[in-house]
Amino acid sequence: MKLTISRSKNATLYYVQKSYRTESGKSSTRTVERLGTLAEVEARFGKENTMAAVKNYIRELTKADKELKRDVTVKLSQSTLIPKGEQRSYNGGYLFLQKIYYELGLDKICKKISKKYKNEYDLNSILSMLLYTRILYPGSKLSSLEDAKKFFEQPEAEIHQVYRAMSLLAKESDAIQAAVYKNSLGLGKRQTQVIYYDCTNYYFEIEEESGIRKYGQSKEHRPNPIVQMGLFTDMDGMPLAFCINPGNTAETTTLKPLEDKLRDNFGISKVVVCTDGGLASYENRKNDDVGERAFITVQSLKKLGKDLQDWALQRTGWKMIVKDKDGKRNFSDNEYNLDELNMEEYGDKLFCRERYIKVGKKGEELEQRLIVTYSLKYKNYLQHVRDKQVAIAQGLIDRGAAGKLSSSQNNPKRFIKQEACTNDGELAEIQNFTINQEMIEQEARFDGFYGICTDLKGPAPEIIKVNGGRWIIEDCFRITKTDFKARPVFLQRDDRIKAHFLTCFLALLMYKLLEKKVNRGGLRFSPAEIIGTLQNMNFLAISGEGYIPTYTRTDLTNNLHGSAGFRTDTQIVSKQRMKAIITESKKY
């Protein structure tokens, strides 16, 4: 390498350049580093003996470059035992998570909290360990400490310090969420024009309620106490904020407090809130029908009045949604009769109609648009699901196992009818169970139809498209429950339970940011592929030389390295180079 000087009328610039040969064998040069103007060079290397300091710096770069090119020969003996207790394998997949951890400024957030509470343990080391292991090796806090020993950098913390740190993190949960959101803006624009909100719950393998662990309606239908999580995501599926409530909390009451946090702590007030039907109470709609806020929510057609139901299920007067040359969705000019549609021609088409309706007490009515869609594919899907449930119900009847009936919309027993009276009206000694054909016919009326309510005035096709993005929040819940194994929860204290879900939230944000970075160039990788690859990015330590990657290089590992700005996939990585990579993973 050498120092080159470029002179022009405006300035003199100094560069470090390297000679090399092209694939055709021709000699060429490339710039390794721009040192800047003379003033910048003197500011960096000092005004005394400046050029000598620069040349010494270039010699060090040349030495490091030659070290990377040095061939390594390793002698191994078939008769020599490996040292007892010596760690020979390390995981380097966490380095790609560490890059995002520091880009989010979580180290600075930990430093600020530690200064506030004057704690003696390393909060940054503990939090980063909890986040990396939640993604790579999900388990208990004790197992996380053990699993973290697989990393090149290993936390020096005791389990009691981990629990103390969790209590501290719970106190600062709201502040951490707000700070991480603001820091994330430096990694790219957040799509907060529309935010999605939903609730789920997590169970505990205990029998008695305690603290925020309450009996409620479990998503897994388990008879265990649960806690409830409410989560906001942006349009890209990036987590924004979350809340933890007792398991018996009504979902509809959780939306407004978290919206207030977004406004007060995040500075997010101009939003469209998109929710499912379970959160679509009149109060929530009214709350979002003010100022710069708006709402889009699922509307159950079965809960509408008879007049509106008749209008929604009418067979004529439907418009088909089409795309124009620019890809924008709009309505067709023609109107369609649903009875004249066939699967071959219209199976993947969506039809729509809309009108304004009013809900609420007289004088306090809320005016909103009711948008109803119809799809032959959705109709066939609902018919298929119902046929399977009816078959299950018939099987229960045949086995004499109908038992206690249910009216739940997802329970097959809702299709069972119980008759317990004789023809003369007296109480029957024997109960008779049959399939409720009237219930089947009633549900079949709504096959293919789907309702949305909103106070927005934009084109209905675009509103339908936005509402269709609600799957991304369901995907977030699936990742935390399945890939991060956030349930069952074994913690006892309320503050540590909340801290557990804070670490799940932060781990989810880190994973989503990494997923966005690696899913590029037309390639799309699943959570299982990304997490599995990170878990398997192991290295064999070679005494005195460095580390040999033992993982398979793939398109995914190429994208991981490209997103992080460093490479670990050479045949061997020297100890010096690995130290530099670790340092690089902490730059932001």
How does pLDDT run across 538-568, given as a tens digit for each residue? Answer: 999 998 889 999 999 999 999 999 999 999 9
| The token pair that represents 464 in the structure block | 């339908």
**DSSP summary character for residue 151:** B
| The token pair that represents 489 in the structure block | 């929860």
| The token pair that represents 446 in the structure block | 């709504």
**Res 425: pLDDT:** 59
Give phi and psi for 546, each to the nearest 5.
155, -140
Give phi and psi for 496, each to the nearest 5.
-75, -30
CA dist., res. 172 & res. 181, Å (int): 14
501 burial type by CB count under 10 A (0-12 exposed, 13-18 middle, 19+ buried): buried
**Res 60: pLDDT:** 84
Which tens digits make up the pLDDT trace of 420-472? Answer: 666 565 655 567 889 999 999 999 999 999 999 999 998 999 999 999 999 99
Q: Per mean pLDDT, which range of 425-439, 502-516, 564-578 is the poorest?
A: 425-439
Contact 42, 50 (CB under 8 A): yes
What sign does the CA torsion over 475, 94, 32, 546 have? negative
| Mean pLDDT for the stretch of residues 160-183 | 96
pLDDT band at 220 (very low <50, low <70, confident <90, very high): confident
| Mean pLDDT for the stretch of residues 463-487 | 94
Q: Per mean pLDDT, which range of 196-205, 260-269, 355-364, 538-547 is the poorest?
A: 355-364
Selected residue with higher pLDDT from 273 and 76: 273
DSSP helix/strand/coil, 325: coil
Give phi and psi for 245, each to the nearest 5.
-130, 160
Q: Are strands 272-275 and 294-299 parallel, antiparallel or unpaired?
A: parallel
| Mean pLDDT for the stretch of residues 69-79 | 78
User: Over pLDDT 70: what percentage of the chain?
Assistant: 96
DSSP helix/strand/coil, 359: strand
**Residue 130 reports pLDDT greater than 60:** yes
**Res 10: pLDDT:** 79
The pTM score is: 0.84
What's the N-to-C CA distance of the chain in angstroms? Answer: 27
Contact 273, 195 (CB under 8 A): yes
User: Over pLDDT 90: what percentage of the chain?
Assistant: 69
**Res 75: pLDDT:** 79
DSSP H helix total and E strand total for the chain = 20, 19
Average pLDDT, the chain: 91
| The token pair that represents 77 in the structure block | 């003996």
Q: Give Rg (Cα) of the chain.
A: 31
| Mean pLDDT for the stretch of residues 10-28 | 77
DSSP E strand boundaries for 66-177: 89-91
**Res 67: pLDDT:** 67
Contact 147, 140 (CB under 8 A): no
